[in-house]
């Protein structure tokens, strides 16, 4: 119980960093598009008096902000500080762009709304409010500079608008820009905070549910193991005195109990891997032996079901640095699935291919195949193909994926409906770089 940590500050930080990265990408792309437009625009064609030098410098500065922000994220600078720096710098850049594209006679101030909206999702209502106030102050400063003739309006629209004679108009213009900008900060700020709260609540209830499941599953293991022992003893001790029907009943009970035990173990192992508490016991392992052992175990069951089991090995000794018992369970899971889903008379083949760096193990069956739209999903927790006749736990492939990826390998399926499936996985011969399994699917 309590293996998973509560949704905390670091989770929120990861999300803020991801949102900031997206905002920086968008900023970078918009700037590149703007730069390309300036370069490509022939002022006579679009009939605007664009000042290319000033706008190119602004585009360059904006690109620089994106690059520095990205670098900061990679270098683990404090995310909140980068967010503040980026949003303040973008607000200044927008104010300059407005000035050099016509001041009060351009629709550019609408971009302030974009920045305020983005800030809400990055820094909440308080951050958005501060950036909104900063935007309207910058805009007021720009209008004042134009009104006082310190840097007159750039007349890109060919409108002979003299700011110094239009004081009232400038005030009205400032109010028209400021009110929506400030309102936007409150609206999007509240929305972003509500979304964040809902998200945190959802994650908290998911954590409580996971912990509860883990506790129940963990407590189930002991009685199931005891039951298994009891059934084994009964089968051994009373086998001679029981009728065939009674024996079959007892064997069925043992089989069901075995499935239950493997479900419990798989859930517990997956939970451990997700919590980063699972360690690989690496050792030089003869993979060919592992395949032979697992296929031999299945041979008798296969014959009973009228299936044929073939093994294609290129060598009898292939040493790989891996956790042998875990990789054995991966092979066993794939073989069990192949048997479970392949009807009577089918053929199941196991192959092993090697290169100097990696080995590839495949389990091929002549079963029903898996629809293309399910081929990725079946590796997710509890995912099963709808309409499948056989029931399972939906955890076997999740377990396989986690174990293979923890070893630095890959697992995938190729399948054709009505023809069969081929599950393959690779393992690096040298072994994984870390022994701690930390995976989330």
Binding interface with ligand ADP (CB under 6 A): 337-338, 341, 365, 367-368, 370, 378, 383-385, 388, 392-398, 421
Please identify the residue of the shown chain whose CB is closest to the bound ligand ADP. Answer: 392
CB of 61 to ligand ADP, least distance (A): 52
Residue closer to ligand ADP by CB (options 28, 369) is: 369
Which helix (H) or strand (E) segment holds residue 312: the answer is strand 308-313
**CA gap 123, 380 in Å, rounded:** 33
CB of 255 to ligand ADP, least distance (A): 14
The alpha helices in 239-286, defined as continuous H runs, are 244-274
CB of 94 to ligand ADP, least distance (A): 51
CB of 267 to ligand ADP, least distance (A): 12
CB of 268 to ligand ADP, least distance (A): 16
Residue closer to ligand ADP by CB (options 211, 384) is: 384
**Paired tokens of 281:** 């016991």
Cα→Cα distances 136→115, 221, 371, Å: 12, 64, 57
**CA gap 269, 263 in Å, rounded:** 10
Residue closer to ligand ADP by CB (options 185, 421) is: 421
**CA gap 415, 350 in Å, rounded:** 15
Residue closer to ligand ADP by CB (options 188, 337) is: 337
With beta carbons less than 8 A apart as the criterion, state whether 410 and 362 touch: no
**Paired tokens of 342:** 């392949």
CB of 325 to ligand ADP, least distance (A): 18
CB of 330 to ligand ADP, least distance (A): 11
- Tell me phi and psi for residue 99, to 5 degrees: -60, -45
Cα→Cα distances 21→70, 124, 136, 318, Å: 7, 17, 26, 45
- Tell me phi and psi for residue 378, to 5 degrees: -65, -15
Sheet holding 420-428, edge to edge: 308-313, 347-354, 358-365, 420-428, 411-416
Residue closer to ligand ADP by CB (options 346, 409) is: 346
Residue closer to ligand ADP by CB (options 72, 367) is: 367
Residue closer to ligand ADP by CB (options 24, 402) is: 402
**CA gap 311, 313 in Å, rounded:** 6
């Amino acid at each position: 119980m309590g293996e998973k940590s509560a949704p905390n500050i670091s989770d929120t930080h990861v999300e803020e960093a991801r949102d900031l990265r997206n905002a920086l990408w968008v900023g970078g792309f918009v700037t590149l598009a703007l730069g390309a437009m300036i370069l490509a625009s022939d002022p006579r064609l679009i009939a605007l008096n664009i000042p290319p030098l000033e706008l190119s410098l602004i585009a360059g500065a904006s690109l620089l902000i994106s690059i520095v922000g990205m670098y900061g994220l990679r270098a683990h600078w404090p995310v909140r500080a980068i967010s503040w720096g980026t949003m303040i710098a973008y607000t200044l850049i927008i104010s300059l762009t407005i000035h050099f594209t016509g001041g009060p006679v351009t629709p550019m101030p609408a971009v302030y709304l974009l920045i305020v909206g983005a800030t809400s999702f990055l820094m909440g209502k308080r951050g958005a409010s501060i950036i909104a106030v900063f935007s309207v102050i910058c805009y007021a400063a720009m209008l004042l500079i134009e009104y006082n003739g310190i840097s007159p309006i750039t007349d890109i629209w060919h409108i002979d608008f003299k700011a110094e004679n239009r004081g009232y108009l400038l005030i009205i213009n400032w109010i028209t820009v400021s009110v929506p900008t400030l309102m936007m900060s409150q609206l999007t700020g509240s929305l972003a905070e509500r979304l964040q709260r809902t998200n945190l609540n959802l994650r908290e209830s998911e954590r409580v549910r996971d912990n509860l499941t883990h506790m129940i599953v963990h407590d189930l293991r002991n009685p199931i193991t005891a039951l298994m022992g009891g059934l084994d003893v009964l089968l051994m001790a009373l086998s001679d005195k029981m009728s065939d029907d009674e024996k079959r009943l007892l064997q069925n009970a043992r089989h069901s109990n075995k499935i239950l035990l493997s479900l419990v173990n798989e859930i517990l192992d997956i939970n451990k891997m997700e919590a980063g508490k699972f360690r690989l016991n690496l050792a030089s392992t003869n993979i060919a032996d592992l395949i032979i052992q697992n296929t031999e175990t299945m041979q008798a069951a296969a014959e009973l079901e009228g299936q044929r089991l073939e093994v294609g090995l290129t060598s009898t000794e292939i040493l790989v640095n891996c956790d042998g018992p875990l990789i054995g369970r991966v092979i066993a899971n794939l073989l069990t699935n192949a048997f479970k889903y392949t009807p009577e008379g089918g053929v199941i083949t196991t192959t092993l291919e090697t290169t100097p760096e990696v080995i590839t193990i495949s389990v091929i069956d002549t079963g029903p195949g898996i629809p293309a739209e399910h081929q990725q999903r079946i590796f997710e927790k509890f995912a099963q193909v709808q309409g499948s006749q056989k029931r399972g736990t939906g955890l076997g492939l999740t377990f396989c994926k986690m174990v293979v990826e923890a070893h630095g390998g890959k697992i995938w399926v190729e399948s054709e409906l009505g023809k069969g499936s081929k599950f393959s996985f690779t393992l690096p011969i040298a072994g994984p770089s870390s022994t701690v399994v930390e995976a989330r699917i």
